[in-house]
Amino acid sequence: MQLHVSKDVQQLSSTLAEWLVSHITETLEHQGRYTLALSGGSTPKMLHTLLANEPYRSRLDWAKLHIFFGDERFVPLADERNNAKMAFDTLLNFVPVPKAQIHIMQTENITPEGSALAYNSLLHEYFDNTPFTFDCIILGMGDDAHTLSLFPGKTEVIHETEKWCTSLWLEEQDMYRITLTHPVANKAKTVVFLAAGNKKAHALKEVLEGSYDPDVYPSQMIKPVPGELHFFVDEAATAEL
C-alpha cells in the first residue's frame, strides 16, 4: 500500500491527475487499451475537470481508453444524482473517448437486477481471459468507510464472492443501487482510493490501522493481490493517523 498525502483537495487532485496520466501513458506503451473505472461522489469532480483541460487533456490518447463505473444510483441518466451524468458533465463530454468505449450502468427501461446482470456479463466479456480486470479503478471512501455501494451492515453485498456486479436496496437513500463487488475490484491491476476532508479521518484510520471488521468498515475488503493499492488523501483526512 502506498499513501500519498497532499496539503488540500486542490493539490490532491493535481497530484492524482499527474499520477494517472503518467500511469495511463506508461501502460499504453505495452498494450493497446487502458481500462479505467471511475468513482461517483463529489471529490472526483476536480480531478475530472483537470483531466478535461490542458495540460493533461492533450497528453492522453483518449481513443485507447475504455471507461467503466464502480457503482451507480438507480436513477435516470438525466438525474443529478446519477454518477455517469457527473462523469459526462465534468469529463467525458470534453474528451474524445469513443462512445462505444464508455460503459455506463443502465438505469432506465430495465430492472436493477437486470442492470447488474448486464454489467456483470460485460465485465466477463472484457476480462475473463486476462490476468487482471481494470488497469485502474478509482474508489471513493465515505465517512462511514463504505466504498462502491458496499455499505456497513450490507453483509450480503460486502461478502459477495460470485458476482462481479450486483444490485441492492439502500433504505437510507430510498433507492436501488448497482455496484461492483470486491472480487472484481481486487483483481484490478491498480486500485486508487481518493479521500479528502476531516470527516474521512476516522474512517481512514480504521481502514488503514484498525482491526479487520469489513461489516463495519467495508473499504477493508479492498485488497488487490497482486495488484497495487494507493491511497491519495489530503492532510485533513490523515488527522487521526
For residue 5, give the C-alpha cell: 498525502
Q: Name the pTM for this structure.
A: 0.97
Q: What are the structural domain ranges in the chain? A: 2-238
pLDDT tens profile 117-136: 999 999 999 999 999 999 99
Contacts of 30 (CB under 8 A, 6+ apart): none
CATH number of 2-238, picked from 1.10.3720.10, 3.40.120.10, 2.40.50.140, 3.40.50.1360: 3.40.50.1360
d(CA 229, CA 192): 6
Q: What are phi and psi of 195, to 5 degrees?
A: -145, 135
pLDDT tens profile 49-70: 999 999 999 999 999 999 999 9
